[in-house]
Structure 1
């Protein structure tokens, strides 16, 4: 299989961590989304990454769908709980983490405009949404103190690593008020799947 990704995409990082946690061999092909003919376009008409190209040539996208596919492809070790209530909880945290990624990316793109062209209200709203969601994730991680040495990470933890890692990369000042969340992230960097996927 081949994964089309960028080195800084938090969505691609989530998938890359899942691949490593499940020990699924997969070639990673880095793409430049700023080019009009990047390789992922041939497999996803939206041009978004990540895209997983299966061995039969068919493509799977987006990150949440890819994760579900990988869980079906290799059920053991499981990263998504089989208990219905625990499964819904894991998917809820994944959705929260995805919202953090989406909103932080929107904030970053708005920041790239000239100062006199930026929508300051949008920037303030985005920052408020991200910090509110980070506060919820910090509460979640309080129950994950020893997860770095666990046999396998679960979906909630993987999605949290991807989301918080991206905020730390692009808007680190958002995290200043969350020392417990930062401490948890620093402890997670000792885990091979996390350290191997650090954004460059």
Structure 2
């Protein structure tokens, strides 16, 4: 398998952690999304990453679809429960973490405009969304306390790690006031699947 990604994409980070937790071999190819003809465009008409190309050439995108494919195709260890309540909990947790990523990226892109061109209302909305979602993630910490030593992680924790790491990279001020969440995140950073997929830029 070949994964097209960028070093700082939280969505690609989520997929890379899943691949590491499942001990699946793959080739990693970094993509420059600013390039008009970057290679991911040949396998994803939207030109977005991550894209996982299977051994038979089939492309799989986006990150949520990739994760579900990997868990079905390689069910051990299971990252998404098979029972309906457990599956709903896992996918809802992923959706919450992905929302943190989405809102943080929107905030970052707006911040890159010159100050006179920034939409202050948009920035405030995105910040509120991230802070509200981080509060919900922090409420999960008591259930996740020993996950750094677990045999394998499940999807909600994987997605949360990818989201928190991206906020820490791009908007660390949003994490002020979330001491329990950050303490858990700092412990989880030493797990091999997380340490080995840390952003390189």
TM range (shorter): over 0.9
- Distance in 1 between residues matched to 2:7 and 2:175, nearest whole Å: 21
Shift of 1:83: 1.8
Alignment of 1:1-200 (within 5 A): 1-200=1-200
How many residues align? The count is 200
Shift of 1:82: 1.4
Shift of 1:123: 0.3
- RMSD, aligned CA: 0.6
| Structure 1 stretches lacking a partner, 5+ long | none
| Structure 2 stretches lacking a partner, 5+ long | none
Shift of 1:58: 1.2
TM-score by length of 1: 0.99
The runs of at least 4 consecutive aligned structure 1 residues that moved more than 4 Å come to none
- Distance in 1 between residues matched to 2:92 and 2:177, nearest whole Å: 23
- Distance in 2 between residues matched to 1:130 and 1:116, nearest whole Å: 24
SS in 2 for 1:143: helix
Q: Deviations over 1:51-97 (max 9, x none)?
A: 00011111000000000110111101100011210110111110000
SS in 1 for 2:124: helix
Shift of 1:190: 1.1
Q: Deviations over 1:90-120 (max 9, x none)?
A: 1111000011100100000000000100000
- Distance in 2 between residues matched to 1:118 and 1:194, nearest whole Å: 34
- Distance in 2 between residues matched to 1:64 and 1:27, nearest whole Å: 19
TM-score by length of 2: 0.98
